[in-house]
Amino acid sequence: MAGEILLDAVERVALAGHEGKSGAGLERVRLADGRALVVKRFTPQSDLTLALTGGDVGWEHVLWHTGALARLPEGVGHAIVDTWVEDGTTVVAMRDLGHRVLTWGRHLSSAECRWALGRVAALHRAYLGHAPSGLAPLERVLALFAPRTMAPVDRERNPLVGLALRGWELFPDCVPADVADPVLALLDDLAPLARALAARPVTLAHGDLATVNMAFEEEKLVLLDWAMPCAAPGALDVARFVAGCSSVIEPSREEVLATYAHAAGPAYDEQAMRLALLAALVWLGWNKALDIVDNPDPAVRARERADLDWWVREARITLESGAL
């Protein structure tokens, strides 16, 4: 029976202030046998990510019920124990991993990054050429923060919408025109970038690889929040990890890319990485421009300026290479 696991609940507490920003509701549930769960409930109307990626039910629900998560390689796990749909609302019950879930305050050493990237590479090898069907459309994943995607959304629904739109308004003033203009053009039409990525070797990509979507459970890397899994080169995950997490990890961007290339073996493709680095700027360039201009901390502004300069150089190489 759908939702049967919650019949034994003896305590339920709504969670506020969690790291997620999509709008999904969370509660912590304790069962009679002592097990602790985190339960997420969402619809396309309440969850911005699901709505913008075109899902009717949560992508975690799709992965679970197609058996895709059962194929995760040794050393890689997930936290889902059941998922079902109640009157159009997706419900995902997950093991409560507590302090093992990473936060933005948790900085990873070079050794920890190597450990995590080795397991991410194993995930990409396991599904190489055999990505599950029915995943989030790649073009929609790439376009998540694009102005044309965000503009129709009510800003009162989610404050992220207004931040992204302001960031893209600032972007041309922060980036040379030879890179800013092609990036803004891609934001209007991401089909060419999606096609170029899909033409490279593809696998199951998590879609939002970040430290806050990871838990370290003994020798297993548990990947959380499978909110936009897609069929794409594994490089897309790694580029997004570098774009979003460079400030909370010890190794340099170049060291992360080299570590993944070595660990991924046949799942690594240089042209896919070039495209993925461009895609990561298309994905998060707004945030970097926003921090450069609006962050009150001068140290953060300087850090993000240097970071954006690196991404601009990499994007320029890709654009000049003819990979797109």
Per-residue pLDDT, averaged over 188-216, amounts to: 98
Distance of CA 116 to the CA centre of its chain: 15
The DSSP letter of residue 108 is B
Question: Quick one: tokens of 324?
Answer: 């797109």
Residue 218 zone, left/alpha/beta (φ > 0; ψ -120 to 50; rest): left
Q: What is the pLDDT of residue 239?
A: 98
Question: Quick one: tokens of 152?
Answer: 């129709």
The phi and psi torsions of 106 (rounded to 5 degrees) equal -95, 110
pLDDT surpasses 50 at 19: no
pLDDT surpasses 90 at 155: no
Per-residue pLDDT, averaged over 246-274, amounts to: 98
Q: What is the pLDDT of residue 283?
A: 97
pLDDT tens per residue across span 66-107 = 999 999 999 999 999 999 999 999 999 999 999 999 999 999
Cα–Cα dist 16/162, whole Å: 21
3 state SS of 134 = coil
Residue 103: CB partners within 8 Å, gap ≥ 6? 19, 211, 212
pLDDT surpasses 60 at 22: no
Confidence bin at 9 (pLDDT 50/70/90): confident
Beta bridge partners of residue 30, listed in sequence order: 11, 36
Q: What is the CATH number of domain 101-321?
A: 3.90.1200
Per-residue pLDDT, averaged over 199-227, amounts to: 97
Domain 4-99 has CATH 2.60.40.10: no
Count each helix (H run) and each strand (E run) in the chain, helices first.
Answer: 12, 10
Order across the sheet with 80-86: list the strands: 9-15, 25-31, 36-42, 89-95, 80-86
Q: What is the pLDDT of residue 15?
A: 84
The DSSP letter of residue 248 is G
Q: What is the pLDDT of residue 21?
A: 54
Per-residue pLDDT, averaged over 1-30, amounts to: 77
Quote the crossing angle between the two packed helices 270-294 and 177-188, to the nearest 10°: 100
pTM of structure: 0.94
Q: Where are the beta strands (DSSP E) in 165-321?
A: 203-205, 214-217, 220-223, 230-232
Q: What is the pLDDT of residue 23?
A: 55
Element (H, E) at 139: helix 138-142
CA distances (Å), 135 to each of 28, 120, 197, 273, in order? 28, 18, 15, 21
Where in the chain are the domains?
A: 4-99, 101-321
Q: What is the pLDDT of residue 323?
A: 86
Per-residue pLDDT, averaged over 263-272, amounts to: 98
Q: Which residue has the tokens 């969670």?
A: 15
Confidence bin at 324 (pLDDT 50/70/90): confident
The DSSP letter of residue 286 is H
